């Protein structure tokens, strides 16, 4: 009982002030907590929106990549088809040309043909870098000969006149013999006539005058 009413009142006032300060601090803390929760909600909504945008961007990128892959595959397929079509056309045209060349120069066994004479290759070959020409037009022809068999793509075994010697010749040395038809009456089929070489007249020489007294 040593303290008086004045001291008690002072202590009460101090305690009351501390309680009020504590309530103010608690109120501020609650306000800060509410503000923090609001900011957290805002961040959460922004994060959700960002995730949605990222998902949309990823989906668009995936769609663009798929479209690009489909377009690339379509372009490759179209280019390959076009290339095959062109190549097939070129190969077909080449085969037709080769077939025409092969048919035009193919000889059959038993067929009669003429042969270009020796030296027809003196200034012409087809593909070895030397001067090109037409051996069938530039040289004389000998024959007739008979084709016996085909021993290669462009090589034939033929029988040469007059002794019947058998040799192998390149297709370019041969030409089908068609003969020359003599004039016939209309409606009568022409008969092929074989050409024979015409002998040249022999040269007649006269002896010099100083040899007239000699008996020949």
Dig out the tokens for 138 from the structure: 């530039």
State if pTM tops 0.85. Answer: no
183: left (phi over 0), alpha (psi -120 to 50) or beta: beta
State the Cα–Cα distance between residues 34 and 42, nearest whole angstrom.
12
Q: Yes or no: is domain 107-121+132-179 CATH 3.40.50.300?
A: no
Q: CB–CB of 166/155 below 8 Å?
A: no
Closest CA to 193 of 201, 183, 202: 183
Which pLDDT does position 106 carry in this prediction? 59
Q: SS3 for 153?
A: coil
31 phi, psi to nearest 5 deg: -65, -45
Residue 144 is predicted with a pLDDT of 76
Helix/strand/coil for 105? helix
- Local confidence pLDDT in tens for the 216 residues of the chain: 455 778 888 888 889 899 999 999 999 999 999 999 999 999 999 999 999 999 999 999 999 999 999 999 999 999 998 988 888 888 888 888 777 666 555 566 655 555 554 433 332 233 333 444 555 455 566 667 888 888 887 888 888 877 778 888 888 888 777 665 544 444 555 554 455 555 666 767 776 777 666 655
Domain extents in the chain: 7-105, 107-121+132-179
């Amino acid at each position: 009982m040593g303290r008086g009413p004045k001291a008690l009142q002072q202590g009460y006032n101090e305690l009351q002030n501390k309680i009020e300060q504590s309530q103010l601090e608690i109120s501020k803390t609650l306000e800060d907590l509410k503000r923090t929760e609001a900011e957290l909600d805002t961040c959460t909504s922004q994060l959700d929106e960002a995730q949605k945008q990222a998902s949309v961007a990823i989906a668009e990128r995936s769609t663009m990549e798929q479209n690009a892959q489909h377009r690339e595959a379509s372009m490759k397929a179209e280019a390959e088809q076009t290339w095959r079509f062109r190549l097939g056309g070129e190969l077909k045209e080449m085969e037709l040309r080769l077939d025409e060349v092969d048919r035009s120069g193919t000889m059959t066994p038993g067929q009669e043909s003429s042969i270009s004479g020796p030296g027809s290759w003196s200034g012409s070959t087809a593909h070895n870098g030397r001067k090109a020409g037409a051996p069938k037009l530039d040289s004389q022809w000998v024959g007739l000969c008979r084709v016996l068999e085909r021993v290669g793509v462009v090589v034939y075994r033929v029988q040469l006149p007059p002794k019947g010697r058998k040799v192998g010749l390149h297709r370019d040395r041969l030409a089908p013999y068609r003969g020359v038809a003599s004039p016939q009456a209309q409606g009568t089929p022409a008969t092929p006539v074989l050409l024979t070489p015409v002998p040249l007249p022999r040269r007649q020489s006269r002896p010099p005058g100083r040899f007239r007294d000699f008996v020949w």
